[in-house]
Amino acid sequence: MSENKEIEILLSVYDKNEEIAALTNTKLTNSGIYAINVMGAPGAGKTTSLIEIVKRLNNVTPYVIEGDIEADFDTKTLLALGVKAIQINTGGACHLDSPLIDKAVEDLKLSNGVLFIENIGNLVCPAEFMIGEHAKLLVSTVTEGSDKPYKYPLAFEKADIILLNKCDLLPYVDFDEEFFMKGVRALNKNAPVIKVSGKTEEGFDEVVSWIMEKVKK
Amino acid sequence: MHEYPITQHIISVASEYAKKYGGTEVKVIHLVVGETSGYVSSSIELYFDIIAKGSLCEKAKLDIKRIAPKLKCNQCGELFVRKPFTFECPLCGGEGSPTEIGKEFYIKSIEI
């Protein structure tokens, strides 16, 4: 048998997803849309946080793409609030990818506003795939525990803003804030960490101010 | 679970390159997979045989080089693999920052 011939390829497997994500990002920017990829574990309060944010947006049209493995409860809640929302069911896939979002963006016919893309409840894969967003918003919670930056470093590293939700429960859970912040800051020097509560609604004004600053730029 | 489409992609790229260089079959595919790339090497291997059937890659051997994620110490510059629940440098006790090491995932080469 003849010797094998080696052919160098050196092609990143991410290229395809990132290429489409970059195109989507340009399309969104050209339509005056600031897109935020909302990430967090199941039950962290991603939709609740979105509702609190959307309620506080003045003079800016909110759009929402809801990613879910199944069902559309979250979308119905948002539609009831008068938000333009669209549901994507991934049918088992653990994260949204750029071709899915590119299609949804076409369907939503967006212009001038903020687009929130609620990713699948998962702290792993969503952080790894660009979907055309301008920023990543991570919802973490005091009930998940303070070790999350250590266990899911990529999500914390990639986030542009981190919401620490359910902080009304701080007196009842053993959440070591110092340990949490130490982990966050080792991974991410810049993202603001804002304590919020979907229950008491505290902290969301600050989140909205951050978003509005970005939208203006 | 997201390894399925990526394995399809790898097979189609490998077959395409083999054809371009006049190969009739792909004998080896060399992949480099960072452990925080989000792809599990064993899942890629699992899907590979199923998807490769009938393609130029049917008999190909997958050679996967796994890369452990490394942090870079902010104080002494040492690159290190971190221990659970800490980002501390094993040499000087400084704090490590994330690097791109361990996030890569690419098709290095094929053998035909």
CATH class name, domain A15-216? alpha beta
| Domain CATH for B30 | 3.30.2320.80
Size of the A and B interface in Cβ pairs below 8 Å: 82
pLDDT for residue B36: 86
Q: In what order do the strands lie in the sheet with A62-68?
A: A84-89, A62-68, A113-118, A33-40, A135-141, A161-165, A193-195
Residue A9 with chain B: CB contacts under 8 Å: 13-14, 17, 106-110
A63-A132-B5 Cα angle (round to 5): 115
pLDDT for residue A163: 98
Q: For residue B7, give its domain range.
A: 3-111
Higher per-residue pLDDT: A15 or B87: B87
pLDDT for residue B39: 84
**Tens digit of each residue's pLDDT (9 = 90 or more) over B22-41:** 999 999 999 999 998 878 88
Higher per-residue pLDDT: B1 or A99: A99
- Separation of alpha carbons B104 and B54, rounded Å: 29
Q: Is residue B1 pLDDT above 70, yes or no?
A: no
| Identity of the residue in A4, A95, A154 whose CB atom sits nearest the CB atom of B2 | A95
The total number of structural domains that make up chain B: 1
Cβ distance of A9 and B107 shorter than 8 Å: yes
- Separation of alpha carbons B61 and B69, rounded Å: 25
> What single-letter amino acid sits at A177?
E
Cβ distance of A92 and B1 shorter than 8 Å: yes
- B21 to chain A, any CB pair closer than 8 A? The answer is yes
- B80 to chain A, any CB pair closer than 8 A? The answer is no
Tell me the ipTM for this assembly. Answer: 0.84
Quick one: pLDDT band at residue B99, thresholds 50, 70, 90? Answer: very high
Q: Is residue B68 pLDDT above 90, yes or no?
A: yes
pLDDT means per 10 residues in chain A (217 residues)?
86 87 96 96 95 93 86 79 85 83 87 94 89 97 97 96 98 97 97 98 98 92
Q: Is residue B10 pLDDT above 80, yes or no?
A: yes
- Whole-prediction pTM: 0.89
pLDDT for residue B76: 98
Residue A158 φ/ψ, nearest 5 degrees: -85, -15
pLDDT for residue A217: 79
